[in-house]
């Protein structure tokens, strides 16, 4: 059950630059940036997608009475991210953090808006575990979400808003931010479920025939748990601060839902810690299994060598070819010596068996 190595270092090109310098830090991408805009209230709903040359058209959506959600697919075009920051009055340090995809989850309160950094986990059986960063800006009546690349992670929220059958259309931007956070937390459950299935398969392989591929898989899972733990522990603190904080941008109704998400993060943390314990136990079990197999091989070799010691002694004596040795002239001497060797070998095997040495 060999699996690809999952820890990949992201390129860092910002060493030595002053704070607030806008440089993209992360995996390079050739996909063009797109802007998915959704505007809604209890009675109306509209959505549109803008390309690179239409980024300025997104600026007016944050100034309407309706709730506006602008999802930016891609953060590798620095100029367009800066344009969005200028439109919505974002601090340069916020833009710097958005462009840096190596940040840990965090929450910053800038009075007029909240800045959140989240990590979305993805797990594939062959490709292993990876995370993508999502940055959220929660304003009075708008939410900006910055994804590293386009994807269908938030498709369910768009579908629910489009249908108009849920409470989300009648609530504010804070509820939309909660819904996005809830989707991110749910992705952890999905990833952990898939990881749990693979851990069960690995356990079966460990008991059946452990080899170097099994050891490599155990180490890969160990690194995955480290990555998950680095993502989910700060996420737990983030959601806890959000639901306990006093920001005017988060209403009391939404805080009730955030408490539920906080409980979910606790479940994720507990599952991650459980998997870490299981994987550590699997590593100990693998080492014990290898040691046991080595002991079994050494036991067989020792028993074989022990049986042949007296046989070698007898063969050595009668191989000296002295002229006056007894039994050399005996007609049945050769067959008698072989019989004696056979009796000794069988007797030693019976003795070892009685002693339960094998």
Euclidean distance between CA atoms 281 and 140, whole angstroms: 49
Domain limit, last residue, from 288, 309, 333: 288
Euclidean distance between CA atoms 139 and 249, whole angstroms: 7
Euclidean distance between CA atoms 2 and 221, whole angstroms: 11
Q: pLDDT for 96-115, tens place per residue?
A: 999 998 888 999 999 899 99
- What CATH number is given to the structural domain containing 59? 3.30.460.20
The verdict on residue 218 lying in a domain is yes
Q: What is the mean pLDDT of residues 318-327?
A: 74
Q: pLDDT for 42-53, tens place per residue?
A: 888 888 888 877
Q: Model confidence at 176, in pLDDT bands (50, 70, 90)?
A: very high
Residue 34: which residues within 8 A CB-CB, separation 6 or more?
49, 50, 51, 52, 72, 73, 74, 150
The verdict on residue 341 lying in a domain is yes
Q: What element of type H or E holds 179?
A: helix 173-208
165 and 270 both lie in a single domain: yes
User: How open is the CA angle 88-94-96, to the nearest 5 degrees?
Assistant: 120
Average pLDDT, the chain: 84
Residue span of the structural domain in which 44 resides:
34-288
Q: Which long-range contacts (CB under 8 A, 24 or more apart) does 198-207 make?
A: 198/1, 198/125, 199/275, 199/278, 199/279, 199/282, 201/1, 202/1, 202/282, 203/282, 205/1, 206/282, 206/285, 206/286, 206/289
Domain limit, last residue, from 268, 288, 308: 288
Q: Regarding beta strands 67-73 and 142-147, do their DSSP bridges make them parallel or antiparallel, or are they unpaired?
A: parallel
The verdict on residue 216 lying in a domain is yes
306 and 271 both lie in a single domain: no
Q: Model confidence at 15, in pLDDT bands (50, 70, 90)?
A: low
279 and 337 both lie in a single domain: no
313 and 205 both lie in a single domain: no
Domain limit, last residue, from 264, 288, 312: 288
Residue 272: which residues within 8 A CB-CB, separation 6 or more?
192, 225, 228, 229, 232
272 and 328 both lie in a single domain: no
- What CATH number is given to the structural domain containing 312? 1.20.58.340
262 and 316 both lie in a single domain: no
User: How open is the CA angle 172-178-182, to the nearest 5 degrees?
Assistant: 150
The verdict on residue 6 lying in a domain is no
The verdict on residue 293 lying in a domain is no
271 and 190 both lie in a single domain: yes
The verdict on residue 256 lying in a domain is yes
The verdict on residue 46 lying in a domain is yes
284 and 305 both lie in a single domain: no
What is the pTM assigned to this prediction?
A: 0.79
Residue 254: which residues within 8 A CB-CB, separation 6 or more?
171, 172, 174, 175, 177, 178
The verdict on residue 246 lying in a domain is yes
82 and 104 both lie in a single domain: yes
User: How open is the CA angle 109-110-114, to the nearest 5 degrees?
Assistant: 55
303 and 209 both lie in a single domain: no
Q: pLDDT for 226-268, tens place per residue?
A: 888 888 999 999 999 998 888 889 999 899 999 999 999 999 9
Q: pLDDT for 198-229, tens place per residue?
A: 888 888 888 877 778 888 888 888 888 888 88
260 and 321 both lie in a single domain: no
228 and 115 both lie in a single domain: yes
- Number of domains into which the chain is organized: 2
Q: Please report the sign of the dihedral spanned by the C-alpha atoms of residue 320, residue 326, residue 327, residue 329.
A: positive
Residue 120: which residues within 8 A CB-CB, separation 6 or more?
131, 132, 133, 134, 153, 184, 187
| CA proximity to 116, closest of 132, 97, 100 | 97
């Amino acid at each position: 059950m060999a699996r690809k190595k999952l820890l990949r270092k992201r390129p860092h090109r910002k060493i030595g630059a002053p704070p607030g310098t806008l440089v993209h830090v992360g995996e390079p991408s050739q996909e063009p940036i797109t802007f998915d805009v959704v505007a809604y209230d209890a009675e109306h709903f509209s959505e549109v997608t803008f390309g690179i040359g239409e980024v300025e058209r997104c600026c007016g959506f944050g100034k309407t009475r309706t709730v506006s959600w602008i999802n930016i697919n891609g953060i590798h075009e620095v100029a367009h991210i800066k344009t969005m920051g200028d439109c919505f009055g974002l601090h340069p340090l916020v833009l710097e953090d958005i462009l840096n995809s190596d940040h840990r989850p965090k929450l910053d309160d800038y009075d007029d808006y909240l800045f959140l950094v989240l990590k979305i986990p993805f797990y594939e059986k062959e490709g292993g575990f990876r995370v993508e960063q999502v940055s959220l800006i929660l304003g009075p009546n708008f939410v900006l979400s910055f994804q590293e690349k386009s994807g269908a992670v938030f498709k369910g929220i768009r579908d629910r808003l489009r249908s108009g059958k849920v409470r989300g259309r009648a609530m504010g931007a804070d509820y939309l931010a909660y819904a996005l956070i809830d989707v991110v937390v749910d992705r952890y459950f999905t990833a952990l479920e898939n990881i749990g299935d693979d851990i069960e398969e690995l356990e079966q392989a460990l008991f059946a025939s452990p080899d170097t591929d099994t050891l490599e898989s155990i180490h890969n899972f160990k690194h995955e748990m480290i990555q998950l733990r680095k993502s989910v522990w700060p996420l737990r603190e983030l959601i806890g601060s959000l639901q306990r904080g006093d920001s005017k941008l988060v209403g009391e109704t939404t805080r009730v839902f955030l408490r539920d998400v906080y409980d979910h993060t606790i479940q994720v943390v507990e599952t991650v810690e459980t998997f870490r314990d299981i994987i550590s136990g699997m590593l100990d079990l693998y080492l014990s299994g290898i040691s046991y197999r080595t002991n079994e091989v050494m036991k067989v070799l020792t028993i074989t060598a022990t049986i042949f010691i007296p046989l070698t002694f007898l063969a050595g004596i009668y191989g000296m070819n002295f002229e006056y040795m007894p039994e050399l002239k005996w007609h049945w001497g050769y067959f008698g010596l072989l019989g004696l060797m056979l009796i000794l070998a069988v007797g030693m095997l019976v003795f070892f068996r009685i002693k339960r040495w094998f």
